[in-house]
Amino acid sequence: MKVDWEAVLGAKSYLTHYSEANQTDPKHAKFMGYSETNSWTLKATDVPTLVAGDKIYIYVQAYREKGIGADDVTKAQYLQDGPFTGSAWSIAVVLTAK
């Protein structure tokens, strides 16, 4: 699943946040992705278990810094846990399983 958004002026990276199926509360968005462009793909191996009609809510957050680490998970965790301040979370992008 691929999600695109408008680039944010000054952003060097973006974190995507998502949760298990049908979790509408962003506080439950426990999974993260990382991108240095205004596009991100949720790999099939990372998609939570879904049945037809289930929804995944994805939120995007912009950062002025780039993540550091060997992979996207480590880079996302670096920004999330570090002394950095990201933008407010976007309005949810809702993907529905077919």
Residue-level pLDDT at 1 = 85
Cα 94 from Cα 64, distance rounded (Å):
25
Q: Average pLDDT, stretch 7-27?
A: 95
pLDDT digit string, tens, across residues 31-85: 999 999 999 999 989 999 999 999 999 999 999 999 999 999 999 999 999 999 9
Stretch (H or E) spanning 78: helix 72-81
What does 38-76 look like in DSSP terms, one character per residue? Answer: SEEE--GGGSPP--TT-EEEEEEEEESS---SSSHHHHH
pLDDT for residue 96 is more than 90: yes
Residue-level pLDDT at 40 = 96
pLDDT digit string, tens, across residues 55-64: 999 999 999 9
